Amino acid sequence: MQTTSTEVLKSYIFNEPIMVDAARLQPLRPAAIFMQGTKRMPGTAITKSVVANEPGGRKREEIFVDIIEKISVTFSSSGYILTSEIDGTIQMKSYLTGNPEIRLALNEDLSIGRGGESANDYRSSYGSGAVILDDCNFVESVRLDSFDMDRTLALVPPDGEFPVMNYRMTQEFKPPFHINCLIEEAGHLKGEVILKVRAEFPSNITANTVVLEMPLPKYTTRASFELEPGVTGQRTDFKGANKKLEWDLEKFVGGVEHTLRAKLTFSQDLHANITKEAGPVSMTFTIPMYNVSRLQVKYLQIAKKSSSYNPYRWVRYVTQANSYVARI
């Protein structure tokens, strides 16, 4: 199921959204009206109200755009990608009075695959862009008059939260995590697991709520764990009832590799290849301010009601695991 509720997303966002100072905007270039910055702010967004008030008790004029991607990847035992897919949505939440028209621009090099017959689907070719979606569909209120020309969407947003666009991508992409797992016999009624995970995204990005699970041979009676020296925010557990290893990491910084070793005790001798008795490894995670498809909101333009009308604009990116599995 696609997680799209802004209230739910608040629990995953550990960064402040990025807002451009109005004094730095260039009035003659539409793309300068809103650009995503790279500055990282204190992690207080989780405790802030989504709807803020201006001095005097007036509701603040603002609009949120969330790009949410759920990714599915299956790795072979050799580490090769067998299947990969992104299910994404652009979600909007508007607190703009008077429902002004807005224009939202995506990557100009965005391409959408041919095919499809549904009237609600939009599939066309647009060059050979770096971002290639298999297909996408839009909420009925979105106008696509100039979408083919400059990848701009126009709409009059209703109050509250609503999806603007859903999309799917199966083009090969770089998975955010690489998993390497080894399980082998280690003596009479003994086994050992070595599980390594490396974050393949930039070091200024941090994943959170990372969990790895691995089914162990059904005759496993005990597991003892060894983490890297000095690590914090990690927890291990052996679920005896369903014979599963679990490894939780509160934070996972980009470019870093973590290793877990587990020593297993069995109740009987092995009767088959131990790798056929265990696995696969599955992983769940959330990565704020990161998306693997590289789909971007280039600018967000709001029709002016007056010369002083300048609402707050927020863009947030979230990547989550849908089915992230590594065979062993």
Report DSSP letters for 36-77, one per residue: -------S-GGGS-SS-B-TTSPBP-EEEEEEEEEEEEEE-T
The verdict on residue 120 lying in a domain is no
Angle at CA of residue 306, ends 305 and 307, nearest 5°: 140
- Structure token pair of residue 195: 């599980």
> Helix, strand or coil for residue 31?
helix
Question: pLDDT at position 7, please?
Answer: 53
Indicate the burial class of 229 (C-beta count within 10 angstroms; 0-12, 13-18, 19 or more).
Answer: exposed
Total count of residues recorded for the chain: 328
Mean pLDDT of 263-271: 88
Mean pLDDT of the chain: 82
> Helix, strand or coil for residue 164?
strand
What is the per-residue pLDDT across 223-237, written as a single tens digit (0 to 9) for each? 999 999 999 999 999
> Do residue 141 and residue 79 come from a single domain?
yes
> Do residue 86 and residue 228 come from a single domain?
no
**Which residues in 76-112 are b (16+ Cβ under 10 Å) and which e?**
eeeeeeeebbbebbbbbbbbbeeebebbbbbbeebbb
At 302, is the pLDDT very low, low, confident or very high (cuts 50, 70, 90)?
very high
The verdict on residue 10 lying in a domain is no
- Structure token pair of residue 188: 């009479």
- Alpha-carbon distance values, 22 to 27, 35, 38, 52, 203 (Å): 10, 11, 16, 18, 29
The verdict on residue 147 lying in a domain is yes
Question: Are 316 and 64 spatial neighbours (Cβ–Cβ below 8 Å)?
Answer: yes
The verdict on residue 244 lying in a domain is yes
H helical segments located in the chain: 6-10, 147-150
Question: pLDDT at position 57, please?
Answer: 52
> Do residue 146 and residue 183 come from a single domain?
no
Domain around 134: 61-115+128-176+290-327
What is the per-residue pLDDT across 23-33, written as a single tens digit (0 to 9) for each? 433 333 333 33
- Structure token pair of residue 262: 């587990």
> Do residue 182 and residue 304 come from a single domain?
no
At 5, is the pLDDT very low, low, confident or very high (cuts 50, 70, 90)?
low
The verdict on residue 258 lying in a domain is yes
What is the per-residue pLDDT across 34-76, written as a single tens digit (0 to 9) for each? 333 333 333 334 334 444 555 555 578 999 999 999 999 999 9
Question: Are 17 and 315 spatial neighbours (Cβ–Cβ below 8 Å)?
Answer: yes
The winner for highest mean pLDDT among 29-33, 155-159, 230-234, 271-275 is 230-234
What is the per-residue pLDDT across 91-119, written as a single tens digit (0 to 9) for each? 999 999 888 999 999 999 999 984 443 33
